[in-house]
Structure formats: structure tokens, C-alpha cells
Amino acid sequence: MYLEIFPPAELQMPGSSFIYFMYGVHALQYVNSASNFILYGLLNRQVILSSFAQCSLQ
């Protein structure tokens, strides 16, 4: 918004490598959200198995 009101004299567009880098950075949050259920499911299974192992030892 600020750039639309007060445009600088030399406005340079970012390069294509920067744009692809920013797409990758923004995609990380989606990858994280998509993999959370897998990671938490594996962690939950490990907790349950360790509690069963402790109960069987006692």
C-alpha cells in the first residue's frame, strides 16, 4: 500500500530465484501441517508401546 502511494524512483522487481525461494518458504508451513498427524501418530504409538512394556515388566 505504501509503495502505491509513494513509489520509489528506482523500483526493482525481485529475481526469479528469490520468488521461488519465497514459494518454498511459504510451502514449509503447509508441509509441516500435513505431516503433523503422521508424526503425532507415530509418537502416540511409541508412548502406548512404552507404557505397555512398563506394565508388563512390573
Greatest C-alpha distance within the chain: 76
Rounded Cα gap, residues 11 and 8, in angstroms: 6
Rounded Cα gap, residues 47 and 51, in angstroms: 6
* Residue 24 located in a structural domain: no
pLDDT of the residue at 6:
75
Model confidence over 33-57: pLDDT tens digits? Answer: 999 988 888 888 877 778 777 777 6
* Residue 7 located in a structural domain: no
- Name the domain count of the chain: 1
* Residue 44 located in a structural domain: yes
* Residue 36 located in a structural domain: yes
Distant-in-sequence, close-in-space partners of 3: CB < 8 Å, separation ≥ 6: 11
Residue 4 scores a pLDDT above 90: no
* Residue 48 located in a structural domain: yes
Rounded Cα gap, residues 20 and 50, in angstroms: 43
* Residue 45 located in a structural domain: yes
Domain that includes residue 57, residue range: 32-58
pLDDT of the residue at 21:
94
Rounded Cα gap, residues 34 and 41, in angstroms: 12
pTM: 0.50
